[in-house]
Amino acid sequence: MSSTAAAPKNPFREMVEAFKAVRHLDRRFWVPNAVFLLDGAAYFGVLNILTLHLGTTVGLGDVRAGQLVAYMTGMLTLAMALLGGLVDRLGVRRMITLTILGSFVGRALLVAAPSLPYSQAVVFVALTLMAVGAGLLQTSVYAAVKQSTDERNSAVGFSLIYSLMNLGIVLESSVSSPVRAAWGTTGVMVMCTGLTLVYLVAHLAFFPRAAGGPVEAPKDAAGAPVKTSWREHPLADARFLFFIFILLGVRTLFAHQWLTMPDYVTRAYPQEVGARYEWISGLNPLIIVLGTPLVAALTRKVHVLTMMTIGTAVSALSTFLLVPGPDLAALLTYVIIFSLGEALWSSRFLEYVASLAPPARVGMYMGVANLPWFLAKFTTGLYSGAMLAQYCPKDGPQDTSTLWLVYALIACTSPVGLLLARRWLLGGVKASADAEPATA
């Protein structure tokens, strides 16, 4: 064995090599990512103003609007958890087609709801279709990325999918405010519905017809399907369950970006600030677009647990900037720091879960990993409307300091829990496929 010491690794050179590996990816990777980019614009274009649309245009009020938005976002993740296995059985190409069609019908119904009888029931159906469509589209695209990448480009591949989705949000946010000023929230809904047709056509035209079929279940030497034990299911792994559920606290902050922020900014700040809410919220995806691939490439050899702890701490602690009261500089600083924290851990989490999943069960694993996200979105919506009515009403005295202090303390449970349980988690939580054990 040579006694020559290994040369120290250059993280920037490794980052360049990681991005070079992406050049070899084909349409099986790029077409689903393009679809996800445009779906990010359409989905979040609706979501960013959905509480405003349901509360005013449809006339449901704060509490009911918050509950329905929580239902939609919760149902999205529940669909991933319960139906994610359909992606493995039906194939990526077919599932993407079906999910886009479901989202289109749902958005069209949402546009028509105010003028239809039983408008609240129509909204419920619309939100259900949108939720199931968006949830299974995510699972389908994750599976497409898993199938089209390898150990050379997996980290950057998963960061790109997350980054491109946020690029769609940036593009939509730049035009949402003027559209809303001219045609109200209904105008934004119409715009997002039309965009859905665009990426449906693009998917059908450019995704390779011979690719993205059902994943064949593994077989033994005799050609019979391999039977798996319930002990191999991710729900049977206590450490894995703790790992994903401890994120519940910080994930509530993500839910507040559409459940609380639109009304908070339009009510607690001057009218000229509230009218440009979409521009402020658009800072988040802009930072994610630029930061996530760079962070993923630079930190791809850092243990996922280290990245999760640091990233969730940054996002949670940033919320304390809002506690002193409404201030535009503090709000912008919060959005920037919160987004940097998100860039540190979100795409690495997706890569980690995908690396654990056998090829024939990517959809199922992604669904299980999103169960806490379902709980965060669902439970947050149950109280967000009441908290707004109590601490940030449209008319009357406001106490936004208490509002954000409560939310910040809830979010801090994630990094604190990860830190306290670190030694136990390191005893069983695996690093992602191309990660090395952390020394931090």
Average pLDDT over residues 5-31: 61
Do 77 and 352 meet the contact criterion of CB atoms below 8 Å apart?
no
Average pLDDT over residues 71-92: 79
Which two three-digit tokens encode residue 117?
A: 């009888």
Residue 294 has pLDDT above 60, yes or no: yes
Residue 342 has pLDDT above 70, yes or no: yes
| Sign, Cα dihedral of 124, 128, 129, 131 | positive
What average pLDDT does the structure give for the chain?
79
Distances (CA, A) of 11 to 19, 302, 348, 434, 436: 12, 11, 17, 14, 14
d(CA 202, CA 222): 42
pLDDT level of residue 439 (50, 70, 90 thresholds): very low
Instruction: State phi, psi for 225 to the nearest 5 degrees.
Output: -60, 140
Residue 17 has pLDDT above 70, yes or no: no
Q: Residue written as tokens 């993280």? A: 11
Do 73 and 381 meet the contact criterion of CB atoms below 8 Å apart?
yes
Q: Where are the domains of the chain?
A: 24-215+233-426
Do 185 and 173 meet the contact criterion of CB atoms below 8 Å apart?
no
Average pLDDT over residues 294-310: 79
Which overall architecture, per CATH, does domain 24-215+233-426 show? Up-down Bundle (1.20)
pLDDT level of residue 433 (50, 70, 90 thresholds): very low
Which two three-digit tokens encode residue 188?
A: 């934004």
Angle subtended by helix axes 328-356 and 283-298, to nearest 10: 40
Question: Which is more confident, 278 or 383?
Answer: 383
Residue 431 has pLDDT above 50, yes or no: no
Q: Residue written as tokens 């509490």? A: 63
Looking at residue 220, its pLDDT comes to 53
Average pLDDT over residues 38-52: 88
Residue range 379-391, pLDDT digits in tens: 887 888 889 989 9
d(CA 64, CA 157): 39
Give pTM, 2 decimals. 0.66
Q: Which amino acid is at 92?
A: V
Q: Residue 315: which of 293, 345, 337, 285 has the closest Cα? A: 337
Average pLDDT over residues 34-49: 88
Question: Which is more confident, 9 or 364?
Answer: 364
Average pLDDT over residues 98-118: 91
Q: Residues of 139-176 as b/e, b for ≥16 C-beta within 10 angstroms? A: bbbbbbbbbbbeeebbbbbbbbbbbbbbbbbbbbbeeb
CA angle 107, 380, 60 (to 5 degrees): 50
184: left (phi > 0), else alpha (psi -120 to 50), else beta? left
DSSP state string for 349-386: HHHHHHHHS-GGGHHHHHHHHTHHHHHHHHHHHHHHHH
Average pLDDT over residues 300-311: 82
